């Protein structure tokens, strides 16, 4: 039973990263077809919720939002903060 929270966390991260990746693909397709777009705030929201790896993968694969400087800076800041939080949690919970 103690592994259950980690299992839920893994499922959450898989789902949120898949969603973030898909959002970049959907937005790219909408951009090419002149349809209504997904806002940058929504794309960044998926990253904030833990989908940063999926967002970066979607950006790269779909070549989407790669030249938007404010967007790139915001995504980079989110990634740095998440890495810092992960390191902080790892150090905090590290057995002595």
Domain ranges of the chain: 4-92
Query: Any idea which residue has 């949690």 for tokens?
Result: 89
> Where are the alpha helices (H) located in the chain, listed in sequence order?
4-33, 40-46, 52-62, 69-92
Do residues 50 and 16 touch, judged by C-beta distance below 8 A? yes
Output the pTM of the full model: 0.87
Q: Which residue has the higher pLDDT, 94 or 36?
A: 36
Contact 72, 66 (CB under 8 A): yes
For 20-53, write each residue's pLDDT tens digit: 999 999 999 999 999 999 999 999 999 999 999 9
């Amino acid at each position: 039973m103690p592994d259950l929270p980690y299992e839920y966390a893994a499922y959450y991260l898989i789902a949120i990263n898949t969603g973030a990746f898909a959002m970049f693909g959907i937005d790219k397709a909408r951009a090419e077809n002149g349809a209504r777009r997904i806002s940058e705030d929504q794309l960044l929201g998926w990253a904030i919720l833990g989908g940063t790896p999926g967002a970066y993968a979607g950006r790269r694969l779909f070549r989407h939002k790669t030249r938007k400087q404010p967007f790139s800076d915001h995504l980079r800041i989110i990634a740095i903060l998440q890495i810092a939080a992960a390191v902080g949690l790892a150090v905090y919970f590290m057995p002595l």
